[in-house]
Amino acid sequence: MPMHLRIPWVASTSLIWTCIISYMRGGNTETDPEQAMNIAAGNQGVALQGLYDLGISAKPAYAYNKQKDHVLMTATGRDRIGFISKIAATVSTQEGNILDVKAYKVGREFVTIMLVEIARGHIDPMRSELLRVHGSDTQFAFQNTQPWLSDTDSPRCKDGVQYTGVLRATGRDKPGILTNITTLLEELKLDVTSIECRQHMETTLDQETHQVFQISGVVRAFSPIDRKTLVQRLIAFEADHAEDSMRLGITETEPDPSFSAFQSSSTSKPQSLLARTITGQFTAGTQKGAS
């Protein structure tokens, strides 16, 4: 290739590949909140999908069919590959529609909770079929539910989510730890969106072995939070449980408009303040966009 054509050729090739890679990756930023929630034409964004994956974002409201029955179905059994797929297949054969599902591994067991929509009068046949096919190694529980708001219901988050944080706690394990932490969250008016707990053995420098717990989860508040008071309460809680080497922290994450369908898209986002972390320190941030 002549020398005078090499530079334009390299530049053009680079530009083409940049466009291809950008298209394959998709957008990773959110535009206007209303546009971001536009399923048909908006940019959902990687960050928004990440919130959905965490289970902390209120997904767009589903138009429930009020002419059908809705049931919360819980299935528990030994953890194994195919646990969910086989149960979902049986639900499908009974013409049930799974609207929402949560699934967890607890110890050596696997637990899934499904919100199933099904034609009226078909819950009992579906229950019988599930017990017939899976009853030998899986336990089921069924609870009729009405997932939509009735005329007398008032949504908890009518003013939007005012605070969202990631909870982390660790320390020496003993009975009552979870009760104490969740009681503190209740006193702080923090709603638990998700929470999990695990234990492991840890050997100290003096070769003593202790069972240590780790708790993580997501909390949120539907009313304004006094962040200074929150930090003080966390510090005081640690001091009260110093003999257990307790470390407790909540790292604030900036609320997204999708957290609540009732939050106005014109509402300005609160100051991005990083609440106390697991290290026991906290840093005050600045409003987004400020230097």
CATH of the domain at 137: 3.30.70.260
Residues 168 and 228 in one domain: yes
Annotate 169-185 with DSSP letters as a single string: EEEE--TTHHHHHHHHH
- pLDDT (tens digit, 9 = 90+) per residue, 62-103? 578 889 999 999 999 999 999 999 999 999 999 999 998 988
User: Which amino acid appears at position 246 of this protein?
Assistant: M
Q: What is the pLDDT of residue 229?
A: 94
Mean pLDDT of 178-201: 91
Domain boundary pick from 144, 176, 195: 144
Structure token digits, residue 289: 């966009």
Q: Could you read off the pLDDT of 36-53 as tens digits, one per residue?
A: 444 444 444 444 444 444
Same domain, 184 and 221: yes
Find the domain containing 76 and state its range: 69-144
* Number of domains the chain is built from: 3
Q: How far apart are CA 17 and CA 20, in angstroms?
A: 5
pLDDT (0 to 100) of residue 62: 58
One domain, residues 204 and 174? yes
Strand segments (E) across the chain:
69-78, 97-106, 109-118, 138-144, 163-172, 191-203, 209-221, 247-253
Q: Judge whether 284 lies within some domain.
A: no
**Does 238 fall in a domain?**
yes
Whether the predicted pLDDT of 159 surpasses 80? no
Please check whether residue 291 lies inside any domain of the structure.
no
- Buried b or exposed e, range 210-247, using 16+ CB within 10 angstroms: eebbebebbbbbbeebebeebbebbeebbeebeebebb
Q: Is the pLDDT of residue 172 over 70?
A: yes
Residues 114 and 190 in one domain: no
pLDDT at 11 over 60: yes
